[in-house]
Structure 1
Amino acid sequence: MRPEQHPRAAPFLAAGACAPSDAALLDLIQRQTFRFFWDFAHPVCGLARDRLDKHGQGGDLVAIGGSGFGVMAIIVAAARGWIGRDEALARMQKILRHLADVPRYHGVFPHFIDGRTGATVPFGAKDDGGDIVETAFLFQGLLSTRQYFSRDTAAEAALREMIDRLWRSVEWNWHTRGGRPVLYWHWSPNHGWARDHQIRGWNECLIAYVLAAASPDHAIDAEAYHRGWAAGPDFVNGQRYYGLELPLGPAFGGPLCFAHYSFLGLSPAGLVDRYADYWQQNVRHALIHYRHSVKNPNGHPGYGPQCWGLTASDGPHGYDVHTPDHDPGVIAPTAALSSMPYVPAEAIAALRHFLVLGDRIWGECGFTSGFSTRGQWASADSIAIDQGPIVVMIENHRTGLLWKLFMSCPEVGRALARLGLRSNGHGA
């Protein structure tokens, strides 16, 4: 797709223009945001750059988790006919060839790689090896891709085999440090378990436990889910915020990415266990953020029913995690837009407002990461882990496509049963 084939916001904002339909706006946002992962992917490996500026310019830093979100966006584009199925297949072949050559650590991918060489780029001190959460985000996308390319052709069968080889090589149980009842986030060939970061809920990491339990060859025991993930100090909540009882999570639910990252493929519709109804959890979490903006206890200018949504995003002083109890007045478009399945009317209202802000927050790859409602500051960049959920969750709202694909994986169904999670078995 050439850049000029993609719509821009301006025609929808022209003075005197007829108000566009919701469907037209969703087409616009999905298609423009998809460009992050298609037109502006890393040219060598086809994976997603970590961030791009408003003109689509970026460096060689590639995000593994963001690339998992990106391959799901490619599926959306193929299903909607923005690209051909064969084009999508060819891009996925390129991506998988490069992933096969990326250094892995007991099969686990690092957080960042160099898009030119595939070499690990340390995320931080002593974080220069395997990242089980980013790997889970990647495989949520790859398994959905495997289910999408299901035709009985040599090319699609070969693609499925490439995904399965990578999938079966991940030693999820290695990240229990010898069978402890919890997953550990990082392992380094140079520093071992020095980061010592246990993954306990509630946060964005549920998908890591589901996929670790789903592994055909290296599965974790259910005990790790119940004694590790569900034993976190912020797991059970039960308090009321803005009139809504929140089953799980920290105060006010935390950043809205908790309701997005694990649920791009894992459908919360009908997903229930002894701890929560996950649809109810995510709907209430989104509504708490919405009501926080409407009530606006901090008096931020511009907040209201059309301007809401806090999550991890760029801010005037750098990347930060924004929540109702840590709210410096930075709105992240991805927070409201990726909540489209949970609160569609509120998300559409926010979308129309964000478009009115125009080029301040809109660029070649859709919306930027965040903007301040005080003054004119706005992030210069779009970020892979923001853009992917916008495309995917809007599609899940519209058709349930990614939920249906991921939930059709037989390994996922077995894992949910193993962990005590009951599901309606489909995406919508």
Structure 2
Amino acid sequence: MLNTLQFHLEQMVHERGFLFHFADIVTGKRIWDCEMSSIDTAIFLCGALTCKAYFAGDTGPERQIRELATKLYERVDWPWMLNGGSTFSMGYKPESGFLKARWSTYCELMMLYLLAIGSTTHPIEPTYWQNFARPYINYAGFRYLSDLAPLFTHQYSHAWFDFRNQRDRYVNYFQNSVAATRAHKAFCLAQANQYSDDYWGVTASDSIAGYTAWGGPPMLGRIDGSVVPSAAAGSLPFLPQECLRTLMAMRERYEQNAWGRYGFVDAFHPTSDWYDTDIIGIDQGISLLMAENLRTEFVWKTFMSNPEPQAAMKLAGFHT
């Protein structure tokens, strides 16, 4: 962990603290002409702050870990990524400037805004928390805040920020994700002869045709009967019994082809005899984080012991 944080601070190319979406793990340089990503920087910082809180001892390496994590967080110039707007840009390219796309509608963006509000060096005003749209979806008797986006958008911020017993002026976001997961399961079961209580869950992943941001409701992409294990695994704290049931059933039935060194494959379609060969870290990551939160609440407790997320949620208007 010490080497990882040191590499990100000293070698990983950045602009005002924001990291490239994809980078070479040896050189730290940009690859694939990608953008400096605001949301992926936020995901990384949530992990760094978790390490900062966990390594609380007095040994030299533990002190270094805390110092490195602090420097990585404190160097981020959050107002710069607003680019003069009322919401965050999704990223920045050195050749062309800020991306036109913005984090302007409810999704996985909560961690981004809260980290920025809680910054002790380059904060944004708490009023920015009110600036992203919060549309509702109604499906199968469930009503919840959501953009037209896959299920992972209801999971990622919840891996670190503990929203369970708090709400802001709008909603309890944990219960919102419970409703979103229930609606997604109902959506899967409504696809004729494709899914069951023991086999459901579709979110952004690989597919037979390549990577796709599919799911629902409403229908996103061409749902073909493939299953994405991280859809249920990433929602384990929201629907423990239902998610555990399908994950255990899928492993029991498809273990020979769908389970490997790192757990489930990213996606699979048994009737087509297709089992993904790629390992996608972000999908494995949300599965592990949420499994541990269900088991012990470890990630929530550790991350939330940092003063910055606590202060940010208070400033954003969260209360019990």
Q: Is the TM value for this pair above 0.5? A: yes
Q: Which runs of 5+ in 2 are unaligned?
A: none
Q: CA deviation at 1:152?
A: 2.4
Q: CA deviation at 1:138?
A: 0.2
- Amino acid of the structure 1 residue aligned with 2:135: V
Other structure's SS at 2:106 match: coil
Distance 2:183 2:14 in 1: 39
Other structure's SS at 1:181 match: coil
Q: CA deviation at 1:240?
A: 2.9
Deviations 1:158-188 (A, max 9, x none): 210111111111111110114x221111112
After the TM superposition, which residues 310-349 of structure 1 pair with which residues of structure 2 at under 5 Å, given as runs? 310-324=202-216, 325-326=219-220, 327-349=223-245
- The answer for the alignment partner of 1:210 in structure 2 is 114
Whether the aligned pair in 2 keeps the contact of 1:314 and 1:369 (CA below 8 Å) is yes
- The answer for the alignment partner of 2:53 in structure 1 is 147
Q: 2:279 aligns with which of 364, 368, 382?
A: 382
Whether the aligned pair in 2 keeps the contact of 1:322 and 1:328 (CA below 8 Å) is no
**Higher relative contact order, chain-length normalized (CA < 8 Å, sep 6+):** 1
Whether the aligned pair in 1 keeps the contact of 2:17 and 2:72 (CA below 8 Å) is yes
State the Cα RMSD in Å: 1.5
- The answer for the alignment partner of 1:108 in structure 2 is 18
Deviations 1:136-159 (A, max 9, x none): 000111101100111122321121
Other structure's SS at 2:279 match: strand
Other structure's SS at 1:240 match: strand
- Amino acid of the structure 1 residue aligned with 2:72: L
Distance 1:300 1:351 in 2: 19
- Aligned length, in residue pairs: 314
Structure 1 stretches (4+) deviating beyond 3 angstroms?
none
Whether the aligned pair in 1 keeps the contact of 2:51 and 2:65 (CA below 8 Å) is no
Other structure's SS at 1:380 match: coil
How does the TM-score come out when normalised to structure 1? 0.71
Distance 2:33 2:301 in 1: 33
2:142 matched to 1:244?
Answer: yes
- Amino acid of the structure 2 residue aligned with 1:336: A
- The answer for the alignment partner of 2:7 in structure 1 is 98
2:75 matched to 1:176?
Answer: no
How does the TM-score come out when normalised to structure 2? 0.93
Distance 1:271 1:121 in 2: 40
Deviations 1:28-53 (A, max 9, x none): xxxxxxxxxxxxxxxxxxxxxxxxxx
After the TM superposition, which residues 107-126 of structure 1 pair with which residues of structure 2 at under 5 Å, given as runs? 107-122=17-32, 124=34
Distance 2:40 2:147 in 1: 22
**Identity of paired residues, percent?**
29
Deviations 1:182-236 (A, max 9, x none): 111111222112x211111221221111111111111111232212x2x3xxx22
Alpha-carbon distance change, 122 to 212 in structure 1, aligned in 2, over 3 angstroms: farther
Whether the aligned pair in 2 keeps the contact of 1:270 and 1:278 (CA below 8 Å) is no
Distance 1:374 1:300 in 2: 12
- Amino acid of the structure 2 residue aligned with 1:305: D
Q: 1:371 aligns with which of 243, 264, 268?
A: 268
- The answer for the alignment partner of 2:304 in structure 1 is 407
Deviations 1:253-298 (A, max 9, x none): x31211221111111211311121112101111111122233x2x3
Q: 1:262 aligns with which of 130, 151, 157?
A: 157
Whether the aligned pair in 1 keeps the contact of 2:2 and 2:61 (CA below 8 Å) is no
